[in-house]
A = this chain, B = another copy of it.
Amino acid sequence: MSKSIFYHAGCPVCISAEHDIVNLIGNQNVDIVHLGEHESQIAKAEAVGVKSVPALVTPNGNVLHLNFGASMADVKG
C-alpha cells in the first residue's frame, strides 16, 4: 500500500487526530507533515485539495478533512 500523508500545523486538534490516525492505520503507512515547520509544503498540500488541517491525503489522492483545526489561510499566517 502506498503511504498516506497527514498534514497538520501543530494545533491541539491536529495532534489528537494525528495520534488517532497513526494508531488506526499504522505509523509505517503515513507520512506526517507539519506545515508550520515546513512551509514549503503548503503549496503542495493545497494543490492536492487540502483546505484545512488536520487532513489526511489517502494513497489514491482523496482528501479527508478531519476535525477542523485551522484553515490553510491560518496556517499561512
Contacts and interface: CB of A to CB of B under 8 A. Distances in A.
B67 A67 contact: no
Contact of A64 (B4, B62, B67): B67
A24 interface: yes
A contact patch SS: mixed
Interface of A: 4, 16-17, 20-21, 23-25, 29, 56, 58-60, 62-68
Given A17-B64, A24-B56, A63-B67, 19 more contacts: A4-B24, A16-B62, A20-B58, A20-B60, A20-B62, A20-B64, A23-B58, A23-B59, A24-B24, A24-B25, A24-B29, A24-B58, A25-B25, A64-B66, A64-B67, A65-B66, A65-B67, A65-B68, A66-B66
